Amino acid sequence: MVQESPLYGSVTVVVAGELDHCTASQIRRQLDGILEDPSITHLCLDLENLTFMDSSGIGVLLGRLRVLQQRGGMLSVKNMQPPIEKLFRLTGLQRVIGVEKNAKGVR
């Protein structure tokens, strides 16, 4: 994971590889470490290099969403690959997690 410096309470994190039962706990700990800063109210996950996500990954995202919502914030994603976008559509995640447009447009 690569993290950009927070800017006005917003931070972008690049998530790469797979977000599944094998990696979920590590990624959860890393994101929770970032969210220890109470001034962060917007977390954007750049998923351009995320190749796979399962229900464990969905749980990681929803848990961080809950933390951010408790402080009046939001979670968003950008640069989804087609399989990840399909997962968001099938599970309805795009209704609760913001999908940001990027230079290429929403996929």
Tell me the CATH number at 7.
Answer: 3.30.750.24
Query: Which pLDDT does position 78 carry in this prediction?
Result: 96
Determine the pLDDT at residue 107: 43
| pLDDT score for 74 | 96
Q: What is the pLDDT of residue 59?
A: 97
Q: Is 15 among the domain residues?
A: yes
Residues in the chain where the model's pLDDT stays below 50: 105-107
45 found inside a domain:
yes
Domain extent, residue 70, equals 2-99
Asked if the structure places residue 104 within a domain, the reply is no
Q: Tokens at residue 75, please?
A: 């979670």
Instruction: Note the pTM of the prediction, 2 decimals.
Output: 0.88
What count of other Cβ atoms lies within 10 Å of the Cβ of residue 2? Answer: 10
Instruction: Mark residue 52 as left, alpha or beta (left: phi above 0; alpha: psi -120 to 50; beta: remaining).
Output: beta
Q: What are phi and psi of 95, to 5 degrees?
A: -80, -20
Instruction: Determine contact, residues 3/11, Cβ cutoff 8 Å.
Output: yes
CA distances from 25 to 29, 31, 53, 55, 78 (A): 6, 10, 13, 13, 22
